[in-house]
A and B are shown apart, each in its own frame.
Chain A
Amino acid sequence: MARKQPMELFMPPNMLKAKVGGGKGGIDLAAMERAEAAMEELKSEFSDWIAEDVKKLTAARARYAATPDADARANLLRGAHDIKGQAPTYNYPLIARVAASLARMIGELPSTAAIPLSLIDAHVTAIQVIHKNAMKDSGNKTAQTLCAELDARVNEVLAANGP
């Protein structure tokens, strides 16, 4: 029978609660309203932000195409991963979906397996087109078909290189 590891369990003093003034605490609705208002003001910058992220991904794709080494691969993954996480905030859910598909392919493929450049290009081009046409409606049928097709191609690549 395996011997249990010694374990020490303790509660550090809650200095943070004292710093914020103690009291009952909990959700501060007024602070949330202020934050929502601040987010609304930021929205005017979102179109520039998504444009910069798409540009960065395009550059990462070019770098990987020129030199498909581990650094370029990691850079491409970071670009896709960033867009996946941030595009919904910028009101581009379709871009987030395509970026998630690209990030999944790069992230789940064994590092020894080459990433098909044609499939990277299909994802990057789709993101560029969605952005250029400002397609923000996640219900867009054409875009949904495209996303499903990309998902299917990624599944094929992952299955071919699976364990």
Chain B
Amino acid sequence: MPNDKPYQTLSDEQLMRQMATGCEWSFAELYDRYSERMHRYFYRMLGQDAHRADDFTQELFMKLVEKTAYFDPERRFSTWLYAVAGNMVKNEYRRLSRQQVPPAGDDFYGENFTEDFDNQVFAEHLHQALGELDESQRQCFVLRYQEELSMKEIAEIMDCPEGTVKSRMFYTLKKLGSKLRAFAGVL
């Protein structure tokens, strides 16, 4: 039985090479593989704003179309794409920092939660807690536990040693554990 979608068997890097020759199907395959992941990453990194995540996802893939030649075939495509997305997020943070968005108050975590809290509440608190982390800690946490990337891949994306990522991750976990101590029973 012939394979209806031969592009599905190709690696990301092979698809990028095909895409450089103007192959539309290669790009479509790459989009299908990564659009949801990248949208989720933007959504989490940019304050859980779905519309903004849409805009950033579109911009990212536009960049991919326009700057295919910038991709180094020696690198892994996924880490390269996350690195580009990470730079876009950094630029957005820089732009937002000029507008001085007020941080969430600490008293938010002082409440006593009982058995009636649900996932929605936890998600909101997690979002708040992530928002209070610094940029690199947040990126570490999202890449590790949302995107489920290895430490090595995260180090490659963040362009820093693996040991730095590990210690940063451990510190982030402790910090989040402390911030979400109200959920200690459930956590």
The answer to whether A and B interact is no
Q: Which residues of B are in contact with A by a Cβ distance under 8 Å?
A: none
